[in-house]
Amino acid sequence: MILIDLNVILDVVQRRKPHYRASAAVLDEVVSERVSATLPAHAVTTLHYLVSRYNNRRAADKVVDWLLRYFAVAETGKSDFIRAMGLSWQDYEDAVVAIAADVRGCSCIVTRNVKDFTGSPVPALTPEEFLLTQTR
């Protein structure tokens, strides 16, 4: 199981270049059931908000339906938020993501912001790095 950070999902939804290709390939690994993946719970609500704002509610609902079909959701509770505070990271959201990945037993966090996960209990890989670990 891997945890996919929101920025990787946004690369695909927004077709952000030059990141789209590698991020889409990671999602293809999940959709093709070659790897199982989870998303941090806040990623689902944040993505719905962004797609609704920049497109429309119907498009946002479709994106969330698609995500929930293929991805597990790494729920976070009070103890996770407390543990994330203990990491004393500058970006608390990244700390919560790291703890969610750890609690869920993920092998890695796939993110474009690897440097933000220095000291994470779960290693972080860029989409390109993750794809290099996959054997076909």
What are the structural domains, with CATH classification, of the chain? 2-133 (3.40.50.1010)
Q: Give the per-residue pLDDT at 14.
A: 86
Segments of the chain scoring below 70 in pLDDT: 135-136
Nearest C-alpha neighbor of 110 from the set 77, 74, 56: 74
Residues 24 and 8: their CA atoms lie apart, in Å, by 8
Token digits of residue 29:
């690994």
Instruction: Tell me the C-alpha to C-alpha distance, in Å, between residue 69 and each of 23, 43, 78, 88, 133.
Output: 18, 15, 26, 34, 25
Check residue 136 and give its pLDDT: 57
pTM of the predicted structure, to 2 decimals? 0.92
pLDDT on residue 68: 96
Distances (CA, A) of 28 to 21, 25, 91: 10, 5, 29
Distances (CA, A) of 75 to 27, 44, 94, 101, 131: 20, 11, 15, 10, 25
Provide the mean pLDDT of the chain.
94
Can you tell me the distance from the alpha carbon of 57 to that of 51, in angstroms, rounded to the nearest whole number?
7
